[in-house]
Amino acid sequence: MAAPAQAAPVVGTGRTASAAMIWSALAVVYVVWGSTYLAIRVVVEAEIPPMLGMASRFLIAGALLAAVLALKSGWQRLRITRREALGAATVGLLLLAFGNGAVAVAEQTVPSGLAALLVAATPLWLMALRVGGGERPRALTWLGVLIGFGGVAVLALSGGDTSAKPFSIALIIFGTISWATGSRFSPRLGLPRDPLVTALYEMLFGGTAMVLLGVIRGEPGRLHLDRIHGSGWFALGYLILFGSLLAYSAYSYLLANAPISLISTYAYVNPAVAVLLGWLILSEPLTWQIVAGGAVIISGVALVVSAERKNPGP
């Protein structure tokens, strides 16, 4: 099992990742990624092809991050080995091309809130991978996962959308499994020791794969820049700067420095954030079921965090 968050090393820096650093990164993932479901929905509704739109999101964000790191520390910081490149390409394919890309394609018919609820299954797949790998999570961790899914169920029962196509639902489930697999095995793939360098290469490799997938899907023929609404450009810019450059870098940092069970709690919080933003921005109803479900989700998060803090580590 991973070491407790309070004493995790920052890979490649020689410093120690404090609890404040880890919780700051987790807060970014909680809030920003909760808002990306809405932004992705706006992008695809603005007639931006999903794979090409998400490819531009990650390619631009990766290029910007590379420029920032090079200006700050020199181009030498960006050098990686062949093994590190292969690891970054694998994670970029699983998390971004198959994970995020599947969600973007599905959101052409699946509402953003429902997509967030489906992605909340990530901890379940992570737990299955842990058990399949021979680990035995603490009983309190299991309880937290079950309670978290209970909260998701309450949210799901508060309202659905029968217009969502079954194939789109299956696509999100596939993307969720892919994301969980990449998150679970990323520490074993020999990634670059610098989490920010890891993030930029994963975005560049993942974005490139998404371009290829977009071409296979025939998206270039459906791309008409003159038809894209202003809201679509704004949402894409938000995804580039906040959803990718800020939040994905924070997520890569967490993968290198925090227990996976703690990291995966974002899948509980993101749906609550998505529902709240829908209420604030789109005037969607905020029912007692939604309030109760959010409270139950946070309770599950608290149990998982408590279990991981009690884990003595290796």
Could you tell me the residue ranges of all domains in the chain? 18-310
pTM of the model: 0.79
More confident residue, 210 or 313: 210
Query: Residue 39 class from Cβ within 10 Å (0-12 exposed, 13-18 middle, 19+ buried)?
Result: buried
**Res. 74: pLDDT tops 60:** yes
Residue 258 has what pLDDT?
83
Residue 303 has what pLDDT?
79
Q: Among the listed ranges 75-84, 146-155, 214-223, which one has the minimum average pLDDT value?
A: 146-155
What would the mean pLDDT of 119-138 be, rounded to a whole number?
77
Residue 4 has what pLDDT?
28
7 pLDDT band, cuts 50/70/90, is: very low
E strand residue ranges, 8-54: 8-9, 16-17
**Can you list the alpha helix ranges (DSSP code H) found in 217-287?**
230-238, 247-257, 260-263, 266-282
Tokens of 174: 């596939």
Residue 257 has what pLDDT?
83
The closest alpha carbon to 172, from 264, 94, 102, belongs to: 102
> What is the rounded CA–CA span in Å between residue 93 and residue 16?
29
**Res. 139: pLDDT tops 70:** yes
Residue 13 has what pLDDT?
43
Query: Residue 166 class from Cβ within 10 Å (0-12 exposed, 13-18 middle, 19+ buried)?
Result: exposed
Tokens of 97: 């091309």
Do the beta carbons of residue 46 and residue 231 sit within 8 Å? yes
> What is the rounded CA–CA span in Å between residue 262 and residue 281?
29
The one-character DSSP state at 4 is P
pLDDT tens for each residue of 181-216: 988 888 788 888 888 899 899 999 999 999 999 999
